[in-house]
């Protein structure tokens, strides 16, 4: 199954955008899937519904960190490479969608309030917006990697 299909299916199962993106790369990263879901959980909806950087983007940043990041055996060049790839992910996502900020991507819909959550559901933003952001993040990652 293609990564974009894996991410979409996971997202539509009710997992956060960040979880779906990271999960779709677990096999390539040799990352245990349950751990990936747990690590990415708090990043969904722009970091715990704060609607900062889109969770699909932060999930992508986790993918890049797991693949290229500086661990105990890597030097500073690994950090520089990861930063460059992260900036490229963010640039391409913003070029495609106008921003990487969740609240702007959802046209001001406030996920921290019951009214905002109702607006999200009533306007089917899960399918009309967020699903596409998850798919974009995966597509961009596949090009960068």
Over residues 67-79, the pLDDT tens digits come to 999 999 999 999 9
pLDDT of residue 71: 96
- Residue range of the domain that includes 105: 3-144
- Distance from C-alpha of 132 to C-alpha of 145, rounded to nearest angstrom: 20
93 closest CA partner among 140, 143, 125, 128: 140
Q: How many domains does the chain have?
A: 1
Average pLDDT of the segment spanning 108-125: 96
- DSSP H helices, 48-130, are 55-68, 76-97, 102-105, 114-122, 125
CA distance 13 to 19: 11
| Contact between residue 79 and residue 85 where contact means Cβ atoms under 8 Å apart | no
pLDDT value for 65: 98
Average pLDDT over the chain, rounded to an integer? 97
């Amino acid at each position: 199954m293609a990564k974009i299909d894996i991410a979409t299916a996971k997202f539509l199962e009710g997992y956060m955008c960040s979880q779906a993106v990271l999960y779709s790369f677990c096999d390539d990263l040799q990352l245990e899937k349950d751990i990936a879901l747990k690590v990415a959980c708090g990043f969904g909806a722009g970091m715990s519904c704060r609607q900062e950087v889109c969770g699909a983007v932060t999930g992508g940043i986790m993918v890049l960190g797991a693949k290229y990041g500086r661990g105990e055996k890597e030097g500073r060049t690994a950090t520089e490479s990861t930063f460059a790839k992260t900036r490229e992910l963010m640039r391409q996502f913003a070029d495609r969608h106008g921003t990487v900020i969740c609240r702007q991507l959802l046209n001001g819909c406030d996920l921290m309030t019951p009214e905002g959550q109702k607006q999200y559901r009533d306007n089917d933003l899960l399918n009309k917006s967020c699903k596409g952001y998850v798919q974009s993040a995966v597509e961009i990652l596949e090009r960068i990697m």
